[in-house]
Structure 1
């Protein structure tokens, strides 16, 4: 069964925050810039604020009615440059990884929202880089890639059109 998307509503922001803490925990192994908070979880303080911004869309990824992850998508008017969309973050719970849910979710997203995209990965995050390159290959997406320093972090920026 294919995963489905469900828009994150204001009443469910606390669920997204909990999942985002797990995402940041995973990401912390690739950067020195993420630390655990005094309450024992990782925080992105602007997450709730961003969720209220026009052009910042958050979706739960669901499978068999349960939440298995999320995708955060940047779009216009939040984006000001040449891109229509940016996959800011995608996260799948460990239990569901390696089963194609992330790729299927992205494929669905690209069909529903065609346009010019960008993705940014930390250069140290080899699993994410390998994942994205596998997605590009499987979905026959041609991409341009460049290295860039973003917030003092060495990153790869990939741009493509679907």
Structure 2
């Protein structure tokens, strides 16, 4: 496995933009969402993927605050991780895993776990990530429990509650500063 995690810039953002509709399609199974009248997974009247992509320009306009990482295996794009810092985080965390996605053909091989842990290592401090708490999302819940247990030595918190967007979420929090700064 030759996995790389690279911070994208405005010249390479199109790769994450290409992967994003596949991510939304996967999420539709979990959240029960459907595309709008134009075939785009958005609740508004967005007509094209190009229009949809404009929403994500902020990820490349806020360098040092928002971190759009591309995940590759053997130079093939296989997913992305979008990491936010304040003011784009829920309160009490320094780093928020806003989105994390791995293409289906690359799942179940340890790649996602490796990539998530490598992204965490890039930013030391208080972390939060959230996922859907329902039975339709058991695979992701299991993935995060297993990955965080291994990464933190079982030193993470998990709770089900309303998130910053007032939706019920499974919320995971941990601090990786002590674990990684002490060899």
TM-score by length of 2: 0.77
In structure 1, the gaps of 5 or more residues are none
Q: What is aligned with 1:4?
A: 4
Contact 1:141–1:160 (Cα < 8 Å) also in 2? no
Secondary structure of the structure 2 residue equivalent to 1:18: helix
2:168 equivalent to 1:158: no
Contact 1:57–1:74 (Cα < 8 Å) also in 2? yes
Q: 1:119 deviation in Å?
A: 0.7
Q: In 1, Cα distance between the equivalents of 2:117 and 2:147?
A: 9
Give the number of the structure whose alpha-carbon radius of gyration is greater. 2
Higher normalized helix content (fraction of residues): 2
Distance 1:152 1:111, change over 3 A: closer
Q: In 2, Cα distance between the equivalents of 1:48 and 1:42?
A: 18
Q: In 2, Cα distance between the equivalents of 1:116 and 1:39?
A: 40
TM-score by length of 1: 0.86
In structure 2, the gaps of 5 or more residues are 43-51, 177-183
Q: What is aligned with 1:18?
A: 18
Q: 1:47 deviation in Å?
A: 2.0
Q: In 2, Cα distance between the equivalents of 1:84 and 1:2?
A: 29
Distance 1:37 1:18, change over 3 A: farther
The match for 2:124 among 97, 114, 121 is: 114
Q: 1:38 deviation in Å?
A: 4.2
Q: What is aligned with 1:46?
A: 55
Secondary structure of the structure 2 residue equivalent to 1:46: helix
Contact 2:3–2:73 (Cα < 8 Å) also in 1? yes
Higher normalized strand content (fraction of residues): 1
Q: What is aligned with 1:104?
A: 114
Cα RMSD after superposing both structures? 2.1
- Using the TM superposition, name which of 12-21 and 144-153 deviates more: 144-153
**Residue deviations 1:27-55 (CA, integer Å, cap 9, x gap):** 111224x3314443435663223442341
